[in-house]
């Protein structure tokens, strides 16, 4: 096979629909989609080639034995042993996506081999005598093309990587013997060139075929949930098959927050999210698009986990938590409970609603605030105020987390019930403002500030990330870098522990 044929075969095979991949599952719900652009694919390819190639060497080839007929000498038995490829250099490589998979082709590859040679033959000088000699040889293989076409599909929520085609073609082999006699040189070159080339082709093809299952088991071992905190994890189960286009690969993951240790929550009434990642800067390696359903699933989860209720007994202005501080605001409270400490029991009455638009991210928070008086060890609820707080937010990237912060736009309040008569709301308003600004928002921001992890394989970090807000979604467009320390285990997870430990850890 010629190198050009190899290229064609690999690339053409990308466009022949294979039966496994056309067997599409029904489209399921996904709320985060990830797009790896051509630049991102190149980055991953270079990473794989650099590491995969260096892990190939030293590569031992099987011994080659042959009887060669050498003019004027006769039949000579030649053995090449300890054939070792000790260096492989890749001159150029490309990665190309097609409908059915991804092809990686390394061309103009050279490799250096070392080997031992040994020959023997019988000659007649009155009696038969055996003549033999041995030595060392170095071989250079040039113009080698190596190609691999990989299929990628969704198998029960994980990515399954398989080999569609794999080939290696050697153009030129040049052999240098140290020592030996001149006829031997020609004999070895004539008799072994082809066989050495063939052995190299076989060995490399074999090695690649062994490497892909390792990469596959790495992908399959990617966890289906990323831990966010003690309560929540992000469901990163792959949904649908990867969508392969000419210059990118798209993935969809479920993307909803789920409560740790709880079974799946059915989100059957969710509107379907259209997988669409559009980065204004198409040279970014990666785009991650999050539907606002993701944020609202977080909101619902923390609400249901009763995370959104708390007792405020410390405020920056502590006089606000004593009835004396309310003497002029609610005189009847002070009259009934003079100089008693108070606390505020804040409960969200429904999950905060988050809305994205090209210019803003808005959140509406519905809360009930119960004023408790603490008297002689008793907690006496005296009034309840309903608040509707409108806040606007901004998001930022903190390492691989999408973090955010909120600021107060406005709030409205109404008296829900009272055991101390009517309250003059306009007098209470500044107090509520202080509580929202100094207690509720800082509390929310301390959580939002940490953010939650984006679905990125551990070891990779976002670089020069850009955030694009649009209707009902946020898109993060970014380059990635790879921490060198993680490379070895990424490609060759030696044990199960290693693979699962490595991934998605904060
Ligand atoms: C086989 O080749 C390797 C690499 O060139 C070398 O280190 C080793 O000593 C050789 N072994 C023998 C028995 O010649
Ligand atoms: C091959 O690669 C090695 C290490 O990556 C480098 O030291 C060497 O110079 C390269 N050789 C050629 C001929 O490019
Ligand atoms: C590999 O072989 C080429 C050609 O013989 C030579 O120039 C190069 O130095 C060799 N590389 C090593 C590391 O021996
Ligand atoms: C993708 O590439 C194939 C083969 O090169 C071509 O036939 C097809 O039109 C391309 N599709 C797009 C969307 O560019
Ligand atoms: C995670 O998402 C997958 C795919 O949508 C779904 O089948 C699974 O039930 C979800 N798991 C949880 C714990 O919600
Ligand atoms: C697009 O992104 C690349 C890589 O992050 C960067 O080098 C380039 O300056 C960006 N271009 C624009 C117009 O922002
Ligand atoms: C806070 O108020 C809720 C009702 O809104 C009540 O169920 C809960 O027991 C109160 N918590 C405390 C500690 O008083």
C-alpha to C-alpha distances, 416 to 320, 367, 421, 429, 432, nearest whole angstrom: 21, 11, 12, 15, 15
The closest of 32, 15, 457, 28 to 244, measured between CA atoms, is 15
User: Pairing between strand 361-375 and 74-89?
Assistant: unpaired
The 8 Å CB, 24+ separation contacts for 58-65 are 58/84, 58/85, 58/86, 59/84, 59/85, 59/203, 59/204, 59/207, 60/84, 61/85, 61/113, 61/199, 61/200, 61/203, 62/199, 64/192, 64/195, 64/196, 64/199
3-state secondary structure of 276: coil
Atom in ligand 7 nearest the alpha carbon of residue 379: 14
E strands in 158-276: 158-169, 172-178, 225-227, 232-235, 243-245, 248-253, 257-259
Distance 97 CA to ligand 4 centre (A): 10
Q: Is 50 in the pocket of ligand 2 (CB under 6 A)?
A: no
Q: Which ligand is nearest to the CA of 267?
A: 5
Q: What dihedral do alpha carbons 505, 297, 285, 468 form, nearest 10°?
A: -130
Nearest ligand 3 atom to alpha carbon 112: 1
Q: Supply the pLDDT for residue 253.
A: 93
Residue 416's CB is within 10 A of a number of other CB atoms, namely 14
Beta pairing partners, 478: 286
**Distance in Å, CA 383 to ligand 6 centroid:** 56
Nearest bound ligand to the CA of residue 49: 2
> Which token pair is 212?
């892909």
Q: Give, in order, the Cα–Cα distances in Å from 136 to each of 60, 61, 302, 411.
A: 15, 15, 71, 86
Regarding the beta carbon of 262 and ligand 5, being less than 6 Å apart is answered no
Ligand nearest, relative to CA of residue 89 = 2
Q: Measured from the CA of 91, which atom of ligand 2 is nearest?
A: 14
Of 118, 114, 136, 135, whose CA–CA distance to 200 is shortest?
114
Sorted by sequence, the CB contacts under 8 Å of residue 253 that are 6+ apart come out as: 30, 32, 33, 34, 235, 236, 237, 238, 239, 455
Contacts of 434 (CB under 8 A, 6+ apart): 315, 317, 320
The reply to whether ligand 5 has any atom less than 6 angstroms from the CB of 264 is yes
Task: Put residue 13 in one of left, alpha, beta given phi > 0 → left and psi -120 to 50 → alpha.
Answer: alpha
Ligand 6 pocket: which of 42, 43, 281, 462 to mutate (most atoms within 8 A of CB): 281
Report the pLDDT value the prediction gives residue 179, as an integer from 0 to 100. 78
CA-proximal residue: ligand 3, atom 8 (nearest): 112
Positive or negative: CA dihedral 85, 87, 92, 94: positive
Closest CA to 141 of 115, 119, 166: 115
Task: Tokens for 6, please give them.
Answer: 């190899």
Cα–Cα nearest to 34, from 337, 255, 195, 256 = 255
Name the closest-CA residue to atom 8, ligand 7: 345
For residue 201, the surrounding DSSP H or E stretch is helix 182-220
Among protein residues, the one with the nearest Cα to ligand 1's atom 9 is: 82
- Please work out whether the CB of residue 258 comes within 6 Å of at least one atom of ligand 5: yes
Strands 473-482 and 32-37: unpaired
CA dihedral in degrees (152, 154, 157, 163; nearest 10)?
A: -40
DSSP 338-371: TT-EEEEEEEEEEEEEEEE-SS-EEEEEEEEEEE
Give per-10-residue mean pLDDT for the chain (506 aa): 55 51 54 94 90 83 88 86 92 89 91 92 81 89 90 92 91 85 79 89 90 90 91 92 90 92 59 70 92 92 85 88 91 93 93 91 94 93 96 93 95 95 90 90 90 91 93 93 61 33 30
CA atoms within 13 A on the CB side of 324: 6
| Atom 5 of ligand 1: nearest residue by CA position | 114
* Residue 263 confidence (pLDDT): 66
Distance (Å, rounded) from C-alpha 460 to C-alpha 453? 12
- How far apart CA 460 and CA 256 sit, in angstroms, is 22
- Specify the ligand 2 atom closest to the Cα of 110: 13
Could you please report the per-residue DSSP string of 368-400?
A: EEEEEEEETTEEEEEEEEEEEEEEEEEEEEETT
DSSP state of 280: S
Q: Which residues line ligand 7 (CB under 6 A)?
A: 311, 345, 347, 368, 370, 379
Cα separation, 380 vs 355, whole angstroms = 37
- Tell me the best of 55, 87, 109 to mutate to test the pocket of ligand 2, counting ligand atoms within 8 Å of each CB and taking the most: 87
Check if the beta carbon of residue 165 is closer than 8 Å to that of residue 149: yes
Closest C-alpha to ligand 3, atom 9: 112
CA distance 36 to 322: 57
Residue 89 Cβ inside 6 Å of ligand 2? The answer reads: yes
| Structure-block tokens of residue 67 | 């009887």
């Amino acid at each position: 096979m010629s190198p050009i044929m190899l290229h064609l075969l690999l690339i053409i095979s990308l466009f022949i629909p294979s039966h496994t991949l056309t067997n599409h599952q029904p489209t399921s719900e996904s709320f985060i989609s990830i797009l790896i652009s051509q630049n991102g694919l190149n980055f991953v390819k270079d990473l794989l080639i650099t590491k995969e190639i260096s892990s190939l060497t030293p590569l031992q080839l099987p011994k080659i034995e042959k009887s060669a007929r050498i003019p004027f000498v006769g039949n000579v038995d030649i053995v090449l042993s300890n054939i070792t490829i000790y260096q492989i250099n890749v001159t150029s490589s490309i990665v190309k996506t097609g409908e059915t998979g991804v092809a990686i082709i390394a061309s103009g590859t050279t490799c250096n081999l070392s080997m031992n040679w040994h020959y023997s033959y019988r000659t007649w000088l009155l009696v038969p005598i055996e003549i033999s000699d041995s030595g060392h040889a170095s071989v250079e293989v040039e113009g080698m093309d190596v190609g691999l076409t990989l299929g990628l599909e969704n198998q029960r929520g994980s990515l399954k990587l398989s080999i569609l085609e794999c080939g290696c073609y050697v153009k030129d082999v040049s052999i240098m013997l140290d020592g030996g006699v001149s006829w031997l040189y020609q004999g070895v070159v004539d008799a072994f060139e082809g066989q050495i080339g063939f052995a190299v082709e076989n060995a490399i093809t074999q090695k690649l075929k062994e490497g892909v299952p390792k990469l596959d088991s790495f992908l399959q071992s990617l966890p289906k949930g990323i831990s966010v905190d003690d309560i929540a994890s992000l469901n990163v189960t792959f949904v649908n098959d990867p969508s392969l286009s000419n210059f990118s690969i798209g993935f969809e993951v479920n993307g909803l927050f789920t409560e740790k240790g709880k079974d799946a929550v059915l989100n059957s009434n969710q509107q379907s999210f259209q997988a669409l990642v559009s980065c204004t800067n198409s040279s970014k390696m990666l785009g991650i698009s999050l539907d606002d359903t993701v944020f609202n699933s977080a909101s619902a989860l923390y609400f249901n986990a009763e995370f959104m209720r708390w007792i405020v007994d410390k405020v920056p202005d502590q006089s606000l938590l004593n009835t004396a501080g309310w003497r002029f605001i609610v005189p009847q409270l002070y009259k009934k409970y003079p100089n008693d400490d108070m606390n505020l029991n804040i409960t969200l009455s429904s999950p905060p609603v988050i809305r994205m638009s090209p210019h803003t991210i808005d959140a509406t928070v519905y809360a009930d605030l119960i004023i408790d008086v603490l008297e002689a060890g008793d907690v006496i609820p005296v009034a309840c105020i309903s608040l509707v707080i409108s806040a606007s937010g901004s998001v930022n990237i903190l390492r691989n987390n999408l973090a955010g912060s909120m600021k107060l736009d406005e709030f409205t309040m109404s008296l829900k019930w009272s055991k101390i008569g009517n309250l003059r709301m306009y007098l209470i308003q500044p107090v509520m403002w202080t509580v929202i600004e100094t207690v509720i928002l800082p509390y929310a921001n301390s959580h939002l500030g940490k953010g939650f992890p984006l679905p990125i394989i551990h070891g990779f970090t976002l670089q020069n990330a850009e955030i694009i807000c649009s209707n009902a979604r946020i898109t993060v467009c970014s380059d990635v870098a790879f921490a060198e320390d993680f490379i070895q285990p990424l490609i060759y997870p030696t044990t199960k522990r290693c693979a699962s430990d490595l991934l998605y850890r904060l």
